[in-house]
Chain A
Amino acid sequence: MAEKHSPLAQFEIKTLLPIHIGDADISFTNSSLFMVIALVAISVFLIMGMRKGQLVPGRWQSMAELCYEFVASVIRDTVGNEGRRYFPFVFTLFMFVLFGNMLGMIPYSFTFTSHIAVTFAMAMVVFIGVTVLGFVKHGFKFFGIFAPPGVPIAMWPLLIPIEIISYLSRPISLSVRLFANMLAGHTLLKVFAGFVPALGALGVLPLAFVAALSGLEMVIAFLQAYVFTILTCLYINDALHLH
């Protein structure tokens, strides 16, 4: 019973379809299931929304266009016009994180963005991709970002390690931020929901609190997807324009 009602039980990975290749365990889990659901939901949302492609959009179409416009404006504001060619990647990332967070708000569902394995994998894709992009664009001049201009050479032995640590901390902060926010928010919701039956008639109070908190969680879910996206754009911008 204690296990079933634990606030952390919602994050448990359950194997739905065991698959083992050699030593690698690539079983289909509830986490994978919700990633597939997110992909299907995004595809249905966008493809069905834009199927008619009317000049004056209906409700569904304007929601799909809103997502597109939103990501496009983020890229335009942070990277500028050169950022357009990275739109597909950034848009995919944004929709995947957003739908992952939002699907997690449905009761009894699983939030795959609350696992560091998932968010860290996404952050590493961004990190490695951006580093490769920087090298492709600038060659070895890319190392110049570790030595800021206008700094006396005497300061370099101190500044360069700091800059390298700062650069290496990007994937960590990117992934930890998303996973920690989702984990903390969902745990908090569950803890307060646990007070509702425990308090009997007084349980109305935590119930109201949970309702308010759910609204806050929706904002956080969107905000985290937004922050993940804008940071990806900033990193792309850094790789494209060295100072």
Chain B
Amino acid sequence: MIERNKPDSLTDLDDRLRRLRERKDGNKPAAKWDDDTRGALGVAVRVGVELVAAIGVGVGIGYLLDRWLDTTPWLLVVFFLLGAAAGMMNVYRVMSGMSQAVGYSAERKGSAENMRDDDDNAPRET
């Protein structure tokens, strides 16, 4: 009886472990509350500062380069505009992808998630 029960409980344990692992990789149960509540509040808090910080960095770089190269207003103007563009790009990234990644992170993240879904499904179907 013990020998018959043992494989059962072991396969059961295997099942449970696999389910837990799938949950860890697939991140479906935990992500829901995340995206709805915390995510929205988090985005709301983040957006304003992103814009200002990038403009600040742009102006800072422009000002320092101007002082160094003696080109007084010009680099400041150029880098202010670049900073504003960077700030808007940051805001766009926060709003679209929840990610800060430099580059086209939203698309990359989406494709990565699709790939992960496929990986999850494959062993279940076979």
What are the residues of chain B within 8 A of A167 when measuring CB–CB? 102
A172 and B104 contacting across the interface, CB-CB below 8 Å: no
Q: Does A54 contact B (CB under 8 A)?
A: no
A243 and B87 contacting across the interface, CB-CB below 8 Å: no
B90 and A169 contacting across the interface, CB-CB below 8 Å: yes
What sequence of 0s and 1s flags, for each residue 213-243 of chain A, a beta carbon within 8 Å of any chain B beta carbon? 0000001100110110011001101100101
Q: Does A190 contact B (CB under 8 A)?
A: no
CB<8 Å pairs between A and B, sample of 12: A73-B34, A77-B27, A81-B24, A148-B104, A149-B103, A162-B85, A163-B102, A165-B54, A165-B57, A166-B87, A169-B50, A169-B90
Most buried by A among B38, B99, B101: B101
Known contacts A165-B57, A234-B99; A226 and B42 CB within 8 A of each other = yes
B103 and A148 contacting across the interface, CB-CB below 8 Å: yes
The list of the 3 closest CB pairs from A to B, nearest first, reads A173-B53, A148-B103, A172-B53
Q: Residue B100 contacts which of A168, A224, A234 (CB distance < 8 angstroms)?
A: A234
A176 and B53 contacting across the interface, CB-CB below 8 Å: yes
Q: Residue A226 contacts which of B27, B38, B57, B108 (CB distance < 8 angstroms)?
A: B38
Q: Does A181 contact B (CB under 8 A)?
A: yes
Min CB distance A129 to B, Å, is 15
**Interface size of A in residues (CB-CB distance below 8 Å):** 39
**Please, how many angstroms separate the alpha-carbon atoms of A223 and B43 in the complex?**
11
Return the chain A residue nearest B101 by Cβ: A238
What are the residues of chain A within 8 A of B30 when measuring CB–CB? 73, 76-77
Where the two chains meet, the residues of A that have a C-beta atom closer than 8 Å to any C-beta of B are 73, 76-77, 80-81, 145-146, 148-150, 161-163, 165-170, 172-173, 176-177, 180-181, 219-220, 223-224, 226-227, 230-231, 234-235, 237-238, 241, 243
Q: Does B13 contact A (CB under 8 A)?
A: no
Min CB distance A97 to B, Å, is 14
What are the residues of chain B within 8 A of A77 when measuring CB–CB? 27, 30-31, 34
What are the residues of chain B within 8 A of A177 when measuring CB–CB? 45-46, 49
Q: Given A77-B27, A172-B57, A241-B112, 17 other A-B contacts at CB below 8 A?
A: A149-B104, A161-B79, A162-B86, A163-B102, A165-B79, A168-B61, A169-B50, A176-B52, A181-B45, A223-B42, A224-B45, A226-B42, A227-B42, A234-B101, A235-B100, A237-B101, A238-B101
